[in-house]
Amino acid sequence: MAVSRAGLLRGRFRADPNAIRPPWASADAQAFASACDACGRCGPACPEGIIAFDRIGRPQIDFSKGGCTFCGACADRCPTGALSRLDGARPWGLVAEIGAACLSLAGTDCRMCHDHCDPAAIHFRPLGRGRWLPTIEEADCTGCGACVAVCPVGAVSVEARWGKEA
């Protein structure tokens, strides 16, 4: 994708290095950047509406809008192979993380993340005094992000674990 003069002057010539790319994108940011031509076809194809675009038009996931169902519609619409489903391959190496702002750690009964976790990868252990420790079973977590949008305090995020995949 060519950068316009205005885009260059506004600093819009680099992709966000921390962006979470759609499922089946290469873990290698350089390889993805080489393959993706920023055509924008994957975004409208997503039935969950979670694909947004970065400063230079490449797709990224916005978990604040919901979670990924791994339907593959984005990969099916990708004409360049930047998103390419492989049989038996995990869609990505992402795992949910729950931070210190979690209400259950503070003694407020909230398990929204657990309630929205289809693979049941989120568990709570009692700490005493009404507090609960949230834990993620990484082997079960698909990194779908359904737990992110429902957290009322933004304590849940999704992080890359490319080297730790099962």
Q: What pLDDT sits at residue 83?
A: 95
Q: What pLDDT sits at residue 12?
A: 52
Q: Are 47 and 88 in contact (CB under 8 A)?
A: no
Q: What pLDDT sits at residue 61?
A: 97
Q: How far apart are the first and last CA of the chain?
A: 35
Phi, psi torsion values for 133, nearest 5 degrees? -100, 115
**Domains, the chain, ordered by start:** 5-77 (no CATH), 94-164 (3.30.70.3270)
Q: pLDDT category, 164, cuts 50, 70, 90?
A: very low
DSSP states of 86-144: -TT--S--EEEEE-TT-GGGGT----HHHHT-TT--EEEEEEETTEEEEEE-TTT----
Q: What pLDDT sits at residue 7?
A: 57
For 136-150, the pLDDT digits (tens) are 999 999 999 999 999
For 60-116, the pLDDT digits (tens) are 999 999 999 999 999 999 999 999 988 778 899 999 999 999 999 999 999 999 999
Q: What pLDDT sits at residue 110?
A: 95
Mean pLDDT of 158-165: 67
Taking 70 as the threshold, does the pLDDT of residue 10 lie above it? no
Its pTM stands at 0.83
The residue written with tokens 């947004």 in the block is 52
Q: Token pair for residue 137?
A: 């079973």
How many CB atoms within 10 Å of residue 141?
A: 20
Largest CA distance in the chain: 59
Measure the CA–CA gap between 122 and 78, rounded to whole angstroms: 32
Q: Are 119 and 142 in contact (CB under 8 A)?
A: yes
Q: Token pair for residue 77?
A: 């619409």
> Residue 123 is which amino acid?
H
For 38-70, the pLDDT digits (tens) are 999 999 999 999 999 998 999 999 999 999 999
Distances (CA, A) of 150 to 113, 147, 156: 6, 6, 9
Q: Are 125 and 132 in contact (CB under 8 A)?
A: yes
